[in-house]
Amino acid sequence: MNSRYRLIIFIFIFFSFHAKSQLFFTEQKNQSIHQFSINDIEIEGDLAPFTYEIELDSFQTNFYIVRVRFTTDYPNKLPEFKLNINYPKDLVDALWSSRSWSSKSFITVPNYSRLQSKYNIVSAISRENKNRLTIATFDDFEGKYTSININYKYRYMQFSLGHFEKSIPESDLLSYTTSIILDFRNQPYSNSIRNAADWRIGKDKKYKVPDNDFKQMPVYSLWYPLHQNIPLESVTHYFDSIVAMGFRSVLIDDGWQNVVQFNVSPTGLWKPKDTKIISNLIAKGHKDSLKIGLWMSQPFLGNQGIIASKFNGQFLQYRNASVPLLDVRYPDVREYLLKVYTNLLKDWDIDAIYFNYLNAYYPDDEVIVTQDNGRDFISVQNALDTLKATIFNEVNLFKPTLNIKQTYPVVGPLNTSNTKTISGFLGTNVLTNIREKVVNNRLIYGNKTPFMEVMGVHPEESSLDIALKFQTMLFGVPYVSYYSYTIPQEINKTLHFWIKYWKSNEKYLFHSNFEALYPVKHYPVLIAGNETKQIYCLYDSNFDIDLADVDFKGVEVINSTKDQTINLKANVNAAFEYVTKDHTGKQIDAGYLRIRKNGKAIKIPQGGLMQLFVINE
């Protein structure tokens, strides 16, 4: 054998071995190959006089709960410590956290400091949107003193669960327990977050997440009429058109306090019975079979001199407002607010109430007051919890069927500086932020996802923009607001189509599997459904719709991008019958379609959808 042939054989063997090595590495990277043991947990800090023991339980393969119990022989302050977990950094391509605020649903590493959120959930994700490691924590103080720091340490990404870094409980203790969920399962990261959130929220005794009553959804909000100074009497006249549009409930939204003039008694209490505007609206809504909800926000004093005089000195200064709030750490303030709420609910036949301020009452424990004037709580949060429990118990006595909303935190982009996303969004320039907030809440709360943003409909908007806005919150609970007498026919037609679509697909959108792909890119692909039907919504045409193994009977692809053409691919050759509709629901095409493994460019109008039905050949 001459040297030339030897060289060719050598090159062939080398590249064959190299290809197999690369394939092995890729296969390893696509699996959760990290073998976890109790020795992977490091505890860092001066723990004396406490000692600790670690207990490790396994729910199933690669799914663990770790409990760390600290004890001491005599009461003492809890020590500051870190609980470190290391994971190979080359297996992680993105990170998600329950503090996915701002406009990013991912974490920039290294050195992301004080990743503190209500639920303390973090997920490390592969490039293929698979879970690598999802962490959730809960302790004796409901995570209040816990944060998560993420750093690089040699070849590892270190998840450092900091405890009592900034402050510690005031009481001396004999024991303390913290628990951590560690999920290494090779599954969609969306599923791991949902499992972790169910565990974490289930531990919370103060905030029970209420079920959504989908028979009362979607919701028509009075936000737009109220902020356009449209009289409520005028709104009441077109409730029949609200029913015809597909709405089943009405939210008397924030802002009603500005148009409803209450008479105030010498004791500072409102007199709801004297306000006929709301009473008439509620009566008309019930006549049209609509459920009526009422928004209640922070207890600002406003310009009511009687209230300001009655509670002189018992205020908190709200950080983003010029008017003070009543300080619920005083028993007479809580008694007053209890009467305000219960009087409203007794005098008006309200079906649901949105206790918004109970989640957003700041500042918290850091508030400093010079005189307590009979204050019986130091903690604002503890006082709020007491007020909330008292209100719920009182309401349950005379109206046990009342639907109580917004009694738990909302996660997602924090847009307090962007007024377009606070009190109803108009236009399409904020759709990415709105979508992120909807998706983050859906990942945390599943089909119990709470009220999010109000979709305002302006008569000068295009019907296409209305379709794109509705598609932004398609996988959440739509709250829509407009004035019926001013919206053009094309908008009316578009809105009616998408409300009908949402209602008819509730089973697949909310009660089936849900996946949110590519958090680093702000969730450009969302998927929901089961083996009968899958719904894909594409928000960025730089990504493909991947039908994978086509393990369903039908699929609907919604084009919410800026383009008319998207790429559709699958792992197998598949044949479909299809129907294409534009953003108003009008059918524009139908026929036969075959998709090869290498994908196919298909045309769907912007804001429209394609329905595909699998043909068994």
pLDDT at 349: 87
- In this model, does residue 227 exceed pLDDT 80? yes
- In this model, does residue 428 exceed pLDDT 70? yes
- In this model, does residue 190 exceed pLDDT 70? yes
pLDDT at 89: 86
User: pLDDT class for 13, splitting at 50, 70, 90?
Assistant: very low
Are 552 and 535 in contact by the 8 Å Cβ rule? The answer is: no
Read off the pLDDT of each residue in 201-227 and give the average, rounded to a whole number.
84
Q: How many residues does the chain have?
A: 617
Tell me the whole-structure pTM to 2 decimals. 0.86
User: pLDDT class for 11, splitting at 50, 70, 90?
Assistant: very low
Closest by CA to 536, choosing from 511, 560, 517, 557, is 557
Among 251-255, 379-383, 545-549, top mean pLDDT goes to 545-549
Question: What number of other Cβ atoms are within 10 A of residue 353's Cβ?
Answer: 23
CA distance 56 to 65: 6
Per-residue DSSP letters for 524-577? Answer: -EEEEE-SSEEEEEES-TTS-EE-TT--SSEEEEEE-SSSSEEEEE-SS-EEEE
Question: What number of other Cβ atoms are within 10 A of residue 531's Cβ?
Answer: 10
CA distance 545 to 287: 45
- In this model, does residue 414 exceed pLDDT 50? no
Which of the two residues, 274 and 23, has the higher pLDDT score? 274
The 3-state DSSP composition of the chain as helix, strand, coil percent (nearest 5) reads 30, 30, 40
Kindly give the pairing relationship between strand 479-481 and strand 219-221: parallel
Per-residue DSSP letters for 474-526? Answer: TTS--EEE--TTTS-HHHHHHHHHHHHHHHHTHHHHHSSEEEEE-GGGT--EE
- In this model, does residue 567 exceed pLDDT 90? yes
Read off the pLDDT of each residue in 394-415 and give the average, rounded to a whole number.
72
Q: Give pLDDT tens digits for 152-180.
A: 888 888 898 989 887 888 788 999 999 99
User: pLDDT class for 27, splitting at 50, 70, 90?
Assistant: very low
User: pLDDT class for 607, splitting at 50, 70, 90?
Assistant: very high
pLDDT at 3: 52
Are 119 and 411 in contact by the 8 Å Cβ rule? The answer is: yes
- In this model, does residue 135 exceed pLDDT 90? yes
Read off the pLDDT of each residue in 100-122 and give the average, rounded to a whole number.
50
User: pLDDT class for 368, splitting at 50, 70, 90?
Assistant: low
Which of the two residues, 186 and 312, has the higher pLDDT score? 186
pLDDT at 19: 39
Per-residue DSSP letters for 331-344? Answer: HHHHHHHHHHHHHH
Which of the two residues, 333 and 604, has the higher pLDDT score? 604
Query: 248-262, 313-327, 585-599: which range is least confident on average?
Result: 313-327
Q: Omega into 169 within 30° of 0, i.e. cis? A: no
- In this model, does residue 325 exceed pLDDT 80? no
Distance of CA 413 to the CA centre of its chain: 9
Q: Give pLDDT tens digits for 267-303.
A: 777 778 778 888 889 999 999 999 999 887 666 565 5
Read off the pLDDT of each residue in 391-406 and give the average, rounded to a whole number.
84
Residue 285 has which token pair?
A: 């809504």
Which of the two residues, 213 and 362, has the higher pLDDT score? 213
User: pLDDT class for 17, splitting at 50, 70, 90?
Assistant: very low
Query: 38-42, 190-194, 287-291: which range is least confident on average?
Result: 38-42
Q: Give pLDDT tens digits for 59-78.
A: 788 999 999 999 999 999 99
Are 421 and 415 in contact by the 8 Å Cβ rule? The answer is: yes
Query: 316-325, 442-451, 537-546, 565-574: which range is least confident on average?
Result: 316-325
- In this model, does residue 219 exceed pLDDT 80? yes
CA distance 584 to 580: 11
Query: 90-99, 167-176, 433-442, 476-485: which range is least confident on average?
Result: 90-99
CA distance 261 to 259: 6
CA distance 200 to 83: 18
Write phi, then psi, for 254 (nearest 5 degrees): -55, 135
Read off the pLDDT of each residue in 581-592 and give the average, rounded to a whole number.
97
Read off the pLDDT of each residue in 178-190 and give the average, rounded to a whole number.
94
Read off the pLDDT of each residue in 242-262 and give the average, rounded to a whole number.
85
User: pLDDT class for 471, splitting at 50, 70, 90?
Assistant: very high
pLDDT at 320: 54
- In this model, does residue 34 exceed pLDDT 90? no
Query: 215-224, 375-384, 456-465: which range is least confident on average?
Result: 375-384
User: pLDDT class for 21, splitting at 50, 70, 90?
Assistant: very low
Mean pLDDT score across all residues of the chain: 82
